[in-house]
Structure 1
Amino acid sequence: MTFSPKYSLPALALLGLTLGSCQPELDDNRPTADAGQLNFSSYVAVGNSLTSGYSDGGLYNEVQAVSYPAILAQQFAKTGKGPASFVQPAFSAAKKDGSGYVKLQLVNGAAVPVQPSAANNYLGEQVAYTGTNAAFPTELEAYTGAQPDNLGVPGISVLSADKTASSTGNAVVDAQTRGAAAAYGSLNNFYQRLLPAADRTSKDYVTYIGQKTPTFFSCWMGNNDVLTYATAGGVASATNPFSGLTDTTSFGKGYRNIIAAISKNGTVKGVCANIPNVTNIPYFNTVTVTAVAAAFKAANAASPGVFITTGTATAPVIRLATSADLLTLTAQGVVATGAGSTPTNPVPNQYVLDATEITTVVNRTTQLNAIIAKTARQNKLALADMNTFFNSIASQGIVTNAVNNTATFASGNLFSLDGVHPTPRGYAVVANEFIRVINAYYGSMVPQVAPNDYRGVLFP
């Protein structure tokens, strides 16, 4: 129940990736470290894949070690009031590549992203699938240490985090959704591995994070309440109650309960982050209607453009795409086989976020962000406006020590090969924004990091 893009070699060769050049690395000027009024000695991070350190379509030790919470903990320690240690739920050394991750490989001279799978022996990666549970084939190696300080769970949403949240007014739907949230440890392999077996069908995430007693926390939740729907082309699954857009009533109830649990009812200081506009990420801006239409035209001069499927499953609409429609990164695979070239073979709905769906997603993001902002104000917490921050990156990039980093897929340094999650450098940039907001709100002087010390996408 986490985003995992599927790629194919001939399909993504069309992306035309090229090897990056070396970049200058310059020292940053760091201020004197001072925690001010804050106590970072027990820092806890609440969130989803972005908090966990998920990157390149997977969770693995290398990037988990430079997740933005890990970077924050490192910088908090420089104030003299930081944590002595920051525990993350790493995989064992023998299974360090966790769920596996996309790699760039050279195919016919082009750098092509390849998704690991059993068919390609997971690209030689040391993955953590147990292979012992026939009912849950994606079961991951269990984490057996003390409860981590990084509580990020890839795939989790506010709706799936709280077994009391669902409040649509439909008794049947609410009962099913609440039941799924309570049993989330049996549905999400990343959450399952954090829980004792006895808790997997009953302990929701709100209860789980409530077990921690932080002196400071960060909370970046809500992304998957719109992202899951968007990355599936606006197609919700009838069997997954968390695949649609979360309604505002349920989100408000769940988000307030999350903050109450981790802040101990408003007595612990922290920072919240809101939801970026997901339509700005490379996942929706790499495979473009214009580029695909040009490819079809080159192959057939009479081609009128790209045919897509929109509407609903019961009332599908087949039409020519416009520049207002977005194709997903994973659409490249079906386009390479000819999908979209004729009205009888259109790009399937799950690979298209049409103009109407885009408006719906953006509007819901605005509504949910208003709830996050109000909750932060009510609890006197700092608010990191990641929506505005990522909008700026999407439009103009961000310069770090004379190096311009952008939202361009693969070569822009900031986004990983899944087109959604950051690279290590991207996580360093995110950590710096959190630090900037914390310093501004609480009057602290937590030093930032030099993002160029962290890598972008690895090229072969």
Structure 2
Amino acid sequence: MKKITRNIKYMCLLAATITLSSCSSDDDGTSNQEQPKSALVAGEANFSKYVAVGASFSAGFTDNALFIAAQQNSFPNMLSQKFALVGGGAFTLPLMNDNIGGLLFNGALDPNGGFKPRLFFNGAGPEVLPDTPTTEATTNLNGSFNNFGIPGLKSFHLGVAGYGMANPYFGRMASSPGATVLGDAMAQGPTFFTLSEIGGNDVLSYAISGGSGVDQTGNYNPATYGGNDITDPVVFASAFNAAVDALTSNGAKGVVANVPYIATLAHFTTVPYNPLDPTDPNFGPQIPTLNNVFGALNPIFNAVDPTRAIVFSTTEASPVVIKDESLADISAIITAQLNASPTFPAFVAQFGLPPAAAPVVAALLGQTYGQSRQATEADLFVLPSSNIIGKVNQAYAGFLVSQGLPAAVAGQFSVEGVTLPLEDKWVLIPSEQLAIKTATDAYNSTITSTAGTKGLALVDFKGILEQASTTGYSSGNYIYTTALVRGGLVSLDGIHLTARGYAIMANEMMKAIDATYGSNFEASGNLLDSGTFPTNYPKAFR
């Protein structure tokens, strides 16, 4: 069995990207906005001091990074420009140093490999910009700001004293080392606020770790602060209500947004469950040998649970093999049955191993496949799994060599998703997806109830993304979807929005303000034309 080097390609077209981007006025994220049709009025809202509180979306995070153009194309900054037409004051952003993205720590890159530059589209898929960040994380900006969109912020982080020492995105703008996000926001004396995506990171960090608690994005992941467990809905409710109570304490009005079902985003829907193509010259010729190997295990699987049987098709794309921790561990059963089989020593011999190696191989097969199965359509794979499926896991191959297997054999049994089940960190199984949905529903119940009690405008962000992921969301001359690259709504990291996506958020917030406070952003023609904003930023853009 030869080394299988199958690697999943991003399903996107350069032509589609060019088409989606063609209406941008220029590459730096500026836009030509519609002229109002009639006089704009604020209604009951007072926009003189607008403060945005939120996480990555509020910050403008896109393409797995924060950078100047992205911040300028954040939905709070877009809103502030419209609010300025009816008495809104200055809106100050904690700007990064460049359009590269990423952070330095005392002049050095993050030793853990995070906080990398932004992604760009290389014609086939997303790629990290080959530059060094210039924004120093340890330098405090010493200013007064209006946008408290903090990448990585979870609900309970809002009131944590000294949170800036854990999260450099807040640390570089915090008023003091012991400051809280909510305290600094309130110090601005807001007359109007947006409170958005609170609760998103509370489930996102769990989701992007495949429900395993291990962050495997390979790039900076802004949802990992405070661990990867799903936030208890009771804790969320307490934190969210405390934030709303504080923000409205001086009579300020505002808009809140609910939390989408994040599993509908491209980060979880791009990598197919069945990417193993029999026409692939690196995989197809290996299918008979693979089926022979699993032929020794399938009788055991069929006796315990037929859904665990592993068979690769010679005519259709086959699912990857995964480890499902919700399955009963039958490692001991596999090992015992193989050791009891009179034909197993001959099976081992076909790999050039002596009969005496049979017990060792039986134990290794039991350990490897005790909770394995082939994936189904119900499983979701995190975007970074595309980089490892079909590749040899060198660490595991090294382990097999240490157990006495020749290097060639060790490599054959270490192919990710084929002979080595994908670990839990790469996949969201149905039970993990249900845990995310259950928590999201609880968060949204709190958000809806609180908005109603406080008389706040409410944006159904969940509904917008659901529509985009199914029939598509229509805005201007475009229909946006959540597909990676070609959908126009979700940026290259598969989670955060494009500038067009943020323009859509701004529009939905203005519509909600109109409905709740009697303004007329929509009727006066002051909604944004999402098509005039970029979907991505070119490699050369600095």
- Report the TM-score range of the alignment, normalised by the length of the smaller protein: 0.7 to 0.9
Higher deviation after alignment, 432-441 or 10-19: 10-19
Distance 1:215 1:236 in 2: 39
Q: Which residue of 2 aligns with 1:322?
A: 376
Q: Helix, strand or coil: the match of 1:271?
A: strand
Distance 2:145 2:285 in 1: 54
Identity %: 27
Once the two structures are superposed, residues 363-389 of structure 1 have per-residue CA deviations (whole angstroms, 9 ceiling, x without a partner) of 110011101111111211111111111
Q: Is 1:354–2:434 an aligned residue pair? A: no
Cα gap change, 1:204/1:360 in structure 2, threshold over 3 Å: closer, same or farther?
Answer: same
Distance 2:205 2:500 in 1: 24
Q: Which residue of 1 aligns with 2:126?
A: 113
Cα gap change, 1:372/1:299 in structure 2, threshold over 3 Å: closer, same or farther?
Answer: farther
Once the two structures are superposed, residues 240-275 of structure 1 have per-residue CA deviations (whole angstroms, 9 ceiling, x without a partner) of 64421111111111111111222226x210010010
Cα gap change, 1:287/1:299 in structure 2, threshold over 3 Å: closer, same or farther?
Answer: farther
Distance 2:57 2:448 in 1: 19
Q: Which residue of 1 aligns with 2:502?
A: 427
Q: Helix, strand or coil: the match of 1:308?
A: strand
Residue 453 of structure 1 deviates from its aligned partner by 0.8
Distance 1:27 1:208 in 2: 32
Distance 1:214 1:322 in 2: 49
Cα gap change, 1:237/1:208 in structure 2, threshold over 3 Å: closer, same or farther?
Answer: farther
Q: Is 1:381–2:456 an aligned residue pair? A: yes
The within-5 A match list for 1:108-257 is 110-116=123-129, 123-124=130-131, 126-128=133-135, 130=136, 140=137, 142-162=139-159, 181-196=160-175, 199-200=176-177, 202-220=178-196, 221-236=198-213, 241-257=226-242
Q: Which residue of 2 aligns with 1:88?
A: 93
Distance 1:313 1:60 in 2: 43
Equivalent of 2:121 in 101, 104, 129: 104
Equivalent of 1:259 in 244, 259, 263: 244
Distance 2:95 2:127 in 1: 24
**Cα contact 1:48–1:153 (8 A) shared by 2:** yes
Q: Helix, strand or coil: the match of 1:103?
A: strand
Residue 28 of structure 1 deviates from its aligned partner by 5.1
**Cα contact 1:237–1:244 (8 A) shared by 2:** no
Cα gap change, 1:111/1:293 in structure 2, threshold over 3 Å: closer, same or farther?
Answer: closer
Q: Which residue of 2 aligns with 1:450?
A: 529
Q: Which residue of 1 aligns with 2:399?
A: none
Equivalent of 1:439 in 498, 514, 532: 514
Distance 1:317 1:424 in 2: 42
Cα gap change, 1:194/1:287 in structure 2, threshold over 3 Å: closer, same or farther?
Answer: same
Cα gap change, 1:324/1:68 in structure 2, threshold over 3 Å: closer, same or farther?
Answer: same
Residue 340 of structure 1 deviates from its aligned partner by 4.2
Cα gap change, 1:143/1:427 in structure 2, threshold over 3 Å: closer, same or farther?
Answer: farther
Distance 1:87 1:312 in 2: 48
Q: Is 1:18–2:14 an aligned residue pair? A: yes
The within-5 A match list for 1:8-47 is 13-15=9-11, 17-20=13-16, 21-22=18-19, 25=23, 30-32=36-38, 33-47=40-54
Residue 185 of structure 1 deviates from its aligned partner by 1.5
Q: Helix, strand or coil: the match of 1:217?
A: strand
Residue 283 of structure 1 deviates from its aligned partner by 0.3
Distance 2:449 2:79 in 1: 24
Cα gap change, 1:19/1:299 in structure 2, threshold over 3 Å: closer, same or farther?
Answer: farther
Cα gap change, 1:348/1:402 in structure 2, threshold over 3 Å: closer, same or farther?
Answer: same
Q: Which residue of 2 aligns with 1:274?
A: 258
Residue 225 of structure 1 deviates from its aligned partner by 0.7
Once the two structures are superposed, residues 306-364 of structure 1 have per-residue CA deviations (whole angstroms, 9 ceiling, x without a partner) of 1112327997832211100000111111114155443x511121110111111111111
Distance 2:516 2:143 in 1: 32
Amino acid at match of 1:308: I
Distance 2:194 2:68 in 1: 21
Distance 2:269 2:142 in 1: 40
Amino acid at match of 2:213: A
Distance 1:443 1:321 in 2: 51
Distance 2:389 2:46 in 1: 53
Amino acid at match of 2:321: F
Q: Which residue of 2 aligns with 1:171?
A: none
Once the two structures are superposed, residues 71-117 of structure 1 have per-residue CA deviations (whole angstroms, 9 ceiling, x without a partner) of 00111122x2222x210000235x76354211222xxxx4232124x
Distance 2:13 2:7 in 1: 12
Once the two structures are superposed, residues 156-198 of structure 1 have per-residue CA deviations (whole angstroms, 9 ceiling, x without a partner) of 1002223xxxxxxxxxxxxxxxxxx4342211121111125xx
Distance 1:299 1:328 in 2: 28
Once the two structures are superposed, residues 403-449 of structure 1 have per-residue CA deviations (whole angstroms, 9 ceiling, x without a partner) of 22221101211111100001111111111111111111211112211
Q: Helix, strand or coil: the match of 1:275?
A: coil
Give the TM-score normalised by structure 1: 0.81
**Cα contact 1:424–1:454 (8 A) shared by 2:** yes
Cα gap change, 1:73/1:240 in structure 2, threshold over 3 Å: closer, same or farther?
Answer: closer
Q: Which residue of 2 aligns with 1:335?
A: 389
Higher relative contact order (CA 8 A, sep 6+): 2
Distance 1:375 1:387 in 2: 17
Cα gap change, 1:435/1:299 in structure 2, threshold over 3 Å: closer, same or farther?
Answer: farther
Distance 1:350 1:323 in 2: 18
**Cα contact 1:102–1:115 (8 A) shared by 2:** yes
**Cα contact 2:53–2:194 (8 A) shared by 1:** yes
Higher deviation after alignment, 15-24 or 225-234: 15-24
Q: Helix, strand or coil: the match of 2:206?
A: helix
**Cα contact 1:53–1:68 (8 A) shared by 2:** yes
State how many pairs are aligned: 405
Once the two structures are superposed, residues 30-86 of structure 1 have per-residue CA deviations (whole angstroms, 9 ceiling, x without a partner) of 4432111111111100000010000000000011101000000111122x2222x21
Higher deviation after alignment, 24-33 or 254-263: 24-33
Residue 125 of structure 1 deviates from its aligned partner by 5.3
CA RMSD in angstroms, aligned pairs only: 2.8
Cα gap change, 1:76/1:299 in structure 2, threshold over 3 Å: closer, same or farther?
Answer: farther
Unaligned runs of 5+ in 2: 1-5, 24-31, 104-116, 216-223, 289-311, 313-317, 330-369, 393-414
Q: Helix, strand or coil: the match of 1:270?
A: strand
Cα gap change, 1:441/1:60 in structure 2, threshold over 3 Å: closer, same or farther?
Answer: same
**Cα contact 1:12–1:113 (8 A) shared by 2:** no
Distance 2:450 2:97 in 1: 38
Amino acid at match of 1:50: F
